[in-house]
Amino acid sequence: MKSNSRQTIVTPTSLLATAWRVLGRLGLVDTIFNHISACLESSNDGWQLYINPEGVLPMEIAADDIHVLPLRSYTASEAVGLKVNPDGLHLHSAIHCLRMRPGVIIHTHAPHCLAVGCTERGLLPLTQTALEFSGDLQLIDYNGVFRSQSLTERMESFVVRGGAALLRNHGALIVADTVEEAFYMAYYLEEACKLQVLALSQGLPLSGPSDSAIEDAHRALVSDRARVAPLLFEAFSRTIGN
């Protein structure tokens, strides 16, 4: 692997833009209708919300396209004036306002996450990829397009804690501390759901791991996440992030 001799300045906007480009090229993002955001506190400006703009495909987004707004609730007309999707801004601002700490949100309509979220049991512990999410993944019922309504009690409980969720009949929601960790979970949740769809599509009897193997693998994979998530993000950034 050749190193790049030029120094690259990494900023919150560049990290978000890179993550969104990669997820878009991997087919996890529903054109212009999904969103990535971050919340950071500035010593001069207080809590700031970073979010992707409306009408820009993930493959074309650049760091300069990311909007930086004061963290608060916004009306639909305000969002349109700011050139941010009103539904996306309503959801992301509501979550960040509830958490009031640095963090990153990714919401996608990734196809296999959406498909598995339509099933009664959701993600099954069939593959090692799925075991990382076993016991932690939340299933949240669909309550319509998120516009004027507030976060449900179940949604509030999930976003305060953070992690990964399947929004039934809708898609995936990731809440994490860093861009790298959010990217990692978004990518591997879709991979786990894809493998489940493939396994079930064979129409053959399924063989799953034992409860003890599930618990051991889950602990090991979750404990590795903080170390390997930045490595995965950097690897994808080198190849298809630019």
Domain parsing of the chain, residue ranges: 12-240
Amino acid letter for position 197? V
Average pLDDT score over the chain: 94
Q: What is the pLDDT of residue 23?
A: 98
**Which residues does 75 contact at the CB level (< 8 Å), separation at least 6?**
none
For strand 138-140 and strand 103-108, is the pairing parallel, antiparallel, or unpaired? unpaired
Rounded to an integer, what distance in angstroms lies between the CA atom of residue 86 and that of residue 138? 25
- Cα 188 from chain centroid (whole Å): 10
R_g of the chain, CA atoms, integer Å: 18
Rounded to an integer, what distance in angstroms lies between the CA atom of residue 138 and that of residue 163? 8
Residue 148: pLDDT band by 50, 70, 90 thresholds?
confident
- pLDDT, one tens digit per residue, over 151-189 is 999 999 999 999 999 999 999 999 999 999 999 999 999
Residue 48 pLDDT > 50, yes or no? yes
Residue 147: pLDDT band by 50, 70, 90 thresholds?
confident
Amino acid letter for position 158? F
Report which of 124, 161, 158 is spatially closest to residue 141, judged by C-alpha positions.
158
User: Cα–Cα distances in Å, from 190 out to 28, 63, 99, 101?
Assistant: 8, 25, 25, 26
Mean pLDDT of 208-218: 97
Q: Is 203 left (phi over 0), alpha (psi -120 to 50) or beta?
A: left
DSSP code, position 126: -
Question: Among the listed ranges 89-103, 137-151, 171-185, which one has the minimum average pLDDT value?
Answer: 137-151
Q: Edge to edge, what strands does the sheet with 67-70 contain? A: 67-70, 46-51, 35-42, 103-108, 171-176, 163-167, 138-140
**What percentage of residues in the chain have a pLDDT greater than 90?**
89
DSSP code, position 220: H
Rounded to an integer, what distance in angstroms lies between the CA atom of residue 98 and that of residue 3? 41
Q: What is the pLDDT of residue 146?
A: 86
- Cα 196 from chain centroid (whole Å): 19
Question: Among the listed ranges 29-38, 79-88, 145-154, 221-230, which one has the minimum average pLDDT value?
Answer: 145-154
- pLDDT, one tens digit per residue, over 54-86 is 999 999 999 999 999 999 999 999 999 999 999
Element (H, E) at 137: none
Mean pLDDT of 26-44: 96
Residue 9 pLDDT > 80, yes or no? no
Domain 12-240 annotated CATH 3.40.50.720: no
Q: What is the pLDDT of residue 242?
A: 63
**Which residues does 54 contact at the CB level (< 8 Å), separation at least 6?**
32, 83, 84, 85, 88
DSSP code, position 38: E
Rounded to an integer, what distance in angstroms lies between the CA atom of residue 157 and that of residue 153? 6
pTM: 0.94
Residue 2 pLDDT > 50, yes or no? no
